Structure 1
Amino acid sequence: MTATPMSGRRAQAARNDEAILQAARAVFTTDPSAPISAVSERAGVGISALYRRYGSKEGLLQKLCGDGLELYIAASEKSLAMRGDPWEAFTTYMRDIVDADSSSLTIALAGTFQPTEELYHASARASQLAIEVHDRAVKAGALRPDVTAADIALLFEQIASIKLGDGQRTTELRHRYLTLVLDSLRNPPAHQPLPGPPPTDEELEQRWAPPS
């Protein structure tokens, strides 16, 4: 069935909404205390248009975290639906969660707003699925048994804290260190080729350079 094209006004509203969400994620993961006007400015959308879509900063934060939980749930369900090699199912889950980058929201936004009942339910669902993914890998003998689902959650946060260079370089480095983590988690241990080159001294030093 062919989808009905959106009208010009609806299409513009959809573009504005996507721009707002991308801007909000960038702004609030950098500075959770930033005003909502910073999102409007970054998105190139009028403040009135932003408020028509989201009545408050809190509502915008709730939407960001809800979307992050949806990505986490989808990655978990995808892994649990995989048949065959249990280690491959587990590593697919780990890579998908790192790519979804929902842990950046957890690091930046936890405790900064009041979650809704819907968010509480989604969080409980995400936690239960994470336990199922973990337990299946342990029972299959693929994941070392002394690692818990809570350990995995904190490993995601550690990897999400890696931010160096542009988005492409950050993604490359996160997958490099994820590969190191996976080698340490596998039962029995394994050593896979590491994606991308290690960070250079220049890249590390650049973090201390003042904004231009």
Structure 2
Amino acid sequence: MSGRKAQAARNDELILTAARAVFTADPGAPIAAVAERAGVGISALYRRYPSKEALLQKLCGDGLQLYIAVAEQAMRDHDDPWEEFAGYMRGIVDADTNSLTIKLAGTFHPTQELHQHAARASELATRLHTRAVEAGVLRPDITPADLALIFEQLASVKLGDEQRTGELRHRFLALMLDSLRQPPAHRPLPGRAPDDLELSVRWSPVG
């Protein structure tokens, strides 16, 4: 890319990273907060995204495409039905697309393209669920909607820094996977359990 195009691409990446951080912390934040966090001028942001609505649509569109990519990859990677399903669950937790769902659902008007992406994501989730049930490795009383809410529960786990949060999310995912498996499994849980200090420090005043 030319220098100008490369700079525009860098600015776009900065804007989207900042927007995700700002709006998952506070969906009501003004778009100026995104420009400030990204370190770009408000005019540069508006040239790329003419409104907060457009920026939210872009964030959620990217999240849906990432979800689709993770699900499709899980279906390609494994011949073992349980590992296919578990790989999908781990991939979605790592992608953290459900943090967007928790915070941004109902805060903007989805486009037709977003509806199409959502339909594809739902189709893949249903296929992965059905394949696991039919293979006899997933509890038959679990539905795709149950799994969607499990992802949201795991996305709500936030403790310490990004690395610690990821470790804890995978610890609790492993616990959930053992309860979802048919027959139930009892494997050692990964990662260190949260301690009282980690939980209590959240109540300390900020600043």
TM-score (norm: length of structure 2): 0.98
Alpha-carbon deviation of 1:146?
Answer: 0.7
Give, as a single letter, the amino acid of the residue that structure 2 aligns with 1:134.
Answer: H
Matched, 1:44 2:34: no
Q: Tell me, in whole angstroms, the C-alpha distance in 1 between the residues paired with 2:113 and 2:195.
A: 44
- 1:205 maps to which of 197, 200, 207: 200
Runs (5+) with no aligned partner, structure 1: 1-5
- 1:106 maps to which of 98, 101, 106: 101
Matched, 1:90 2:85: yes
Q: Tell me, in whole angstroms, the C-alpha distance in 1 between the residues paired with 2:116 and 2:164.
A: 35
Residue in structure 1 matched with residue 55 of structure 2 by the alignment: 60
Residue in structure 2 matched with residue 184 of structure 1 by the alignment: 179
Residue in structure 1 matched with residue 26 of structure 2 by the alignment: 31
Aligned pairs, number: 207
Aligned residue for 2:203, secondary structure, equals: coil
Alpha-carbon deviation of 1:36?
Answer: 0.4
Change in CA separation of 1:98 and 1:83 when aligned onto 2, cut-off 3 Å: closer
Q: Tell me, in whole angstroms, the C-alpha distance in 1 between the residues paired with 2:46 and 2:138.
A: 47
Matched, 1:136 2:131: yes
Q: Deviations over 1:150-192 (max 9, x none)?
A: 1000000000000111111111110010000100000111122
Give, as a single letter, the amino acid of the residue that structure 2 aligns with 1:172.
Answer: E
Residue in structure 2 matched with residue 193 of structure 1 by the alignment: 188
Q: Tell me, in whole angstroms, the C-alpha distance in 1 between the residues paired with 2:91 and 2:173.
A: 11
Q: Deviations over 1:62-98 (max 9, x none)?
A: 0000000001111111122234210000011000000
Runs (5+) with no aligned partner, structure 2: none
